[in-house]
Structure 1
C-alpha cells in the first residue's frame, strides 16, 4: 500500500515512515525539505500521486492564534489535493480532550482541523493521543528557574512517542474509522507529580511547587487530558521509559 506521510520528517512522522516501510508499505515523507508546502499547496499533487492513504502529522510552527489559520489552510489544501489524487483514507493525529479546552488557541486550531476533516470528501480517521513523554522537560522549562519548577496539579496520562507512532500506523493501515480513536499511556499522574518523578530520575534537586496558574495546562479543567474509559492504552510506562532514557 502507498501512504503519504505529511510532516514525514518530524519526531512522529519520521518514525511513522520507518514503521510503515518496515511493514512492507511504500511510505512517502512529505515536508518542506521534500518540496511540499502545505500552506501554498506546492508539491502536494506530486506527493499524493498514487497514494491510497494520507497520514497527516504536520504541526503548526506556532501555538498561538496563528495556528488557526495554519490548520484551516493546510487541511483545506490537503483535502482538495487528496480528492484530486483519489486518496481513499485521510488520517490526522490530534490530541485527547482537544475540544474541551477552548481557552487554548492551539487546541481550538486542532479542533477546527478535525471539523474540516469530518466535513471533507474522504473517509477519515482521527487518532487523539495524550501528551508525549518526550515533551515533559519542555513543559517544565516554561515555568521553572534555578531552584523551583512550578506546575499545576492537572491530571495527565502521557505516552511514549513510539507508542503514538504504533497507534497511527495501526489506524492508517486499517479500514477508515470515520470517527476518533483515543490513545493514552498506562498511568495517570498529576502534572506536578510527573515533574517530581522526572527531576528525581534526572538527578535534579529542584523543588516542584503546585501552582494552578503556571503554564499552558493551568487553564485545563478536570481530567479532560486523560484517556477516558474508551482509550486504547499503550504499553510503555513513564518510569521505565525514563530509566531507559538515562
Structure 2
C-alpha cells in the first residue's frame, strides 16, 4: 500500500513512516524538507500520485486564532483537492480530544474547522483524536507560566506517548475508512499537575507548580473532563512512569 504522510518528518510523522515501512508498506514522508508544501501546493500532486492513503499530521505551533485557522484550512484544502484528483481512497487526519467542545481556543477551533473540511470532502476518511502527548508537557508548562511559577488548571488530562499515537495512526491508515472518529488516550487520568510537575522535575525545572480552577488552557476555560475521552477510546500502551523514566535517563 502506498501511504503518503503529510508532516512525515516531524515527531509523529517520522515514527509513523518508520512503522509503516516495517509493515512492508510504501510510506512517503511529505513535508517542505522533502519538497512538498501543502500551503503553496508545491510537490503535492507529485507526492500523491498513485497513493492509496494520505495521513495528515501537519502542525504548526501557532496560537494566534486567525493564523492557525488559515494554516489548517489552507493545508487541508490543498491535500483534499489533490487526493480527489489522484483517486486517493482514504484520508486520515490527526486531531485532538476536546476539539468539538472548546470553541474559545483558537487552536482547537482551527482543528474543528479542519475536521469539517475532511467530513465534507467526499474522500473516505478517518479522524483520530489524541489527548495531549507526554512530549508536550513541558510546552504546556511554558504556556501556563505566571512570573516565576506555573499555574495549571485543575481539569484532568489523560496524556499519551507520541509513539503510541504513531502506532494507532498506522493501524487506522491500513484499515478501511472509519467515516468517523477514534479517540486515543494514555492509560492514566489525573489533574494537570500530576503529570506536569514530575515532567518539569525530570527536565531540571524547579519552578513551583500551583493549581487554580479559574486558569484557562490556551484561551479556553476547562470543565474537568473537557480534554479526556467521554466514551470509548483506544488506550496507549505506554504508561507515564515508564515514559518519565526513559526521559530521566536521557538527561
TM superposition score normalised by structure 2: 0.92
The separation in 2 between residues aligned to 1:104 and 1:145, in whole angstroms, is 19
- Are the aligned partners of 2:153 and 2:222 in contact in 1 as well (CA < 8 Å)? no
Map Cα deviations across residues 158-192 of structure 1 (whole Å, 9 max, x no partner).
00000000010000000100100001001001012
Aligned to 1:100: 101
Aligned to 2:75: 74
- Corresponding residue pairs, total: 246
Aligned to 2:56: 56
Runs of 4+ in 1 over 4 A off after TM superposition: 200-205
The separation in 1 between residues aligned to 2:221 and 2:215, in whole angstroms, is 8
Aligned to 1:221: 223
Map Cα deviations across residues 72-96 of structure 1 (whole Å, 9 max, x no partner).
1111111110011110000000001
The separation in 2 between residues aligned to 1:74 and 1:150, in whole angstroms, is 34
- Are the aligned partners of 1:127 and 1:180 in contact in 2 as well (CA < 8 Å)? yes
Mapping of residues 9-158 of structure 1, within 5 Å: 9-65=9-65, 66-144=67-145, 148-158=149-159
The separation in 1 between residues aligned to 2:9 and 2:86, in whole angstroms, is 22
Question: Once the 2 structures are TM-superposed, how far is the Cα of residue 195 of structure 1 from its aligned partner?
Answer: 2.2
The separation in 2 between residues aligned to 1:35 and 1:198, in whole angstroms, is 36
1:207 aligns with 2:175: no
Aligned to 2:176: 175
RMSD (Å) for aligned C-alpha atoms = 1.7
Question: Once the 2 structures are TM-superposed, how far is the Cα of residue 214 of structure 1 from its aligned partner?
Answer: 5.4
The separation in 2 between residues aligned to 1:164 and 1:220, in whole angstroms, is 24
The separation in 1 between residues aligned to 2:219 and 2:110, in whole angstroms, is 16
Question: Once the 2 structures are TM-superposed, how far is the Cα of residue 215 of structure 1 from its aligned partner?
Answer: 4.7
TM superposition score normalised by structure 1: 0.94
